[in-house]
Structure 1
């Protein structure tokens, strides 16, 4: 009996609205709910087939039944209408008063609709979305999205604020530093304090995001993401204090010449140590390292060169979803990663060439394996959305790595090609003896020459190349590598403390008879090149 304004030229939206609202208007004025309209949209994936009207009608009926809007089976339901706006989606609108004048049982209707949608996807052969667990950040509302479109913004204000606050919190150690970073980013800040003067919370706004009264629209941190409330942010640095109250000399932030490269070496070392903990650690410790990895990605994206910035920013954005789960992080155990994020921020922007560019490739390479380990951990724990987000992050890192590594690996490749034949033959024998299961694969890769140049440089610096190779492989995870030789190049250069952009080699494979000159950021035992006992024992001087 409902009029269809889409098919009947004499029907109007007002006619439809009046029919939907009849159960509300039948109530006494004081009994009418202040908000009585329920609305949702149901959208197919762009890659899905086009569903028929009959299929969309069936989907609509299943959604309103699952949410309690119109449960069926003789139970009183609400009046509702479904409208197909395009091939790929419908909108459902309902009146939140049943035919007998009661409120429907629509508790947690959003979660119930999502659960039914997962079943519909499977039954109709559509793209299956990973089920959520309630730890995701709140999405922008349709009003916020439409406002962004009207204002010509790339993203809604909520998403822009979330990214800015997330970057501001990377590696911070105090409230004062956190709010200074927010102010430096151009955000408007309001804080909430107790009568005692203790700070309870904060909210932020974009200066040009105004409401109808011309006032800035503020968002509390907790509304941006669950881990961006002030109490949750405080946990990051209070955990550091609780576990290690005395500051260590190597924790000082380096600035000046070589600082970006040194910060990236610190990042590479911290990421690689974290890989071991993610594979083997306690769940709460693993959750802390995964959360801190998000800070590192934010800091790296903020300070990277132009040719890697977009992919690293997309990687950080994707990983935001993977950084939280219901397993509460044991803060304090993630100190090394948080210190790396801090050094990246304070080290400043990196150049896309030389030692900066090469150490960027090294850091991305190590982070790729950390994020891959995080994806495996989430999958093992049944965190479907987080595992998917981490996998997407790894793909962005793979692309960023290719851009960052092309130049430094190209230089190493040419140096490897210039090594003498006896030197290459000796290194081939060494590789086959040290890594018999991987040798033939490595020798067939283009990256073998870059690895040969690195082995020669390590040997000239006084290292035992066979021990370095064995230790590098034993440190786990090579299955996801596109090129094993490339991975070993960065592991060897980091472990042996070699300049990431390579030292010039003479024809016989030595460094020309002179010691290699290192900058402050890459000298032996510098904060950016801390080594575990296992790595140190793999060397001979």
Structure 2
């Protein structure tokens, strides 16, 4: 699984997005009484109003299952969501688990995997604020444990995948080249950005969480040179050389 966390101040905006009709949204779990956008917004706001000094009580967790996991049953999605939320310390908090269909008009391509959204109120039912310090790091560790407990596909941690997102300009250039190729405006297939090729290779080489020696050996077999770098401050980084281009 791959996890992502967002936080904000507007429960209404979050529920309007999560329960949009064009996303095939379904509430599959949680402890909230409401079922509609207005009901859930009011319910979560009433609880958050107990502690108005917290200006951003909204937590939005996204869990994406690996394509190899196939269609995941609702009861397993609910169980995993509940366990993740509680292990992060949101025990006495409102939360709702929402499933979205794979065909999502809000994205350029349909998902090839199941994914769920979890809306959580940072303010507990008795008006306390949950300490969310290092939630991102802890969330990833919890996900790794849940994968093993529920016999799901093991996904390499983000620090091992070393993902580097494409810039907006790179994405738009690739899309334009793809459209031109599909409509016959250009005869050559579009160039896949080097970062996409490298990311795919790193994902494949780190899928089973190998040792660094094995990880580097696998990349070298794919024609990628790996060079560990230690900065003057002692920070460790890795540089990759693929198709005569460096990536850090």
Contact 2:95 2:121 in 1 (8 A): yes
Where does residue 61 of structure 1 map in the other structure? 82
Displacement of 1:90: 0.4
Where does residue 286 of structure 1 map in the other structure? none
| Match runs of 1:385-400 below 5 Å | 388=215, 391=218, 394-395=221-222, 397=223
Where does residue 90 of structure 1 map in the other structure? 116
Where does residue 41 of structure 1 map in the other structure? 62
Cα offsets for 1:403-462 (capped at 9, x unmatched): xxxxxxxxxxxxxxxxxxxxxxxxxxxxxxxxxxxxxxxxxxxxxxxxxxxxxxxxxxxx
Distance change in 2, residues 1:390/1:315 (3 Å): farther
Q: How does the TM-score come out when normalised to structure 2?
A: 0.53
Contact 1:318 1:392 in 2 (8 A): no
SS in 2 for 1:34: coil
Displacement of 1:84: 0.7
Contact 2:201 2:219 in 1 (8 A): no
Where does residue 199 of structure 2 map in the other structure? 318
Where does residue 147 of structure 2 map in the other structure? 121
Displacement of 1:318: 3.4
Structure showing greater radius of gyration is 1
Q: Which has the higher contact order (CA 8 A, sep 6+)?
A: 2
- 1:19 matched to 2:71: no
Aligned-residue CA RMSD (Å): 4.5
Where does residue 531 of structure 1 map in the other structure? none
Where does residue 421 of structure 1 map in the other structure? none
Displacement of 1:39: 0.9
CA distance in 2, matches of 1:152, 1:313: 15
Contact 1:315 1:393 in 2 (8 A): no
- 1:99 matched to 2:125: yes
CA distance in 2, matches of 1:129, 1:120: 11
Displacement of 1:394: 3.6
Distance change in 2, residues 1:125/1:135 (3 Å): closer
Where does residue 137 of structure 2 map in the other structure? 111
Cα offsets for 1:353-396 (capped at 9, x unmatched): xxxxxxxxxxxxxxxxxxx9xx9xx95xx44xx9658735643x
Q: How does the TM-score come out when normalised to structure 1?
A: 0.26
Contact 2:26 2:99 in 1 (8 A): no
Aligned length: 170
Displacement of 1:99: 1.4
Displacement of 1:134: 7.9
Contact 2:95 2:120 in 1 (8 A): yes
Contact 2:81 2:118 in 1 (8 A): yes
SS in 2 for 1:41: strand
Displacement of 1:104: 0.6
SS in 2 for 1:127: coil
Of 79, 96, 119, which residue of structure 1 is paired with 2:94? 79
Judging by fraction of residues, say which structure has more strand: 2
CA distance in 2, matches of 1:134, 1:45: 16
Instruction: Specify every segment of 5 or more residues in structure 2 that has no aligned partner in the other structure, as ranges.
Output: 1-18, 20-24, 28-33, 103-113, 176-187, 225-248
Judging by fraction of residues, say which structure has more helix: 1
SS in 2 for 1:90: strand
Instruction: Specify every segment of 5 or more residues in structure 1 that has no aligned partner in the other structure, as ranges.
Output: 71-76, 156-305, 323-371, 399-541
| Match runs of 1:404-423 below 5 Å | none
CA distance in 1, matches of 2:193, 2:95: 45
Displacement of 1:48: 1.3
CA distance in 2, matches of 1:115, 1:24: 28
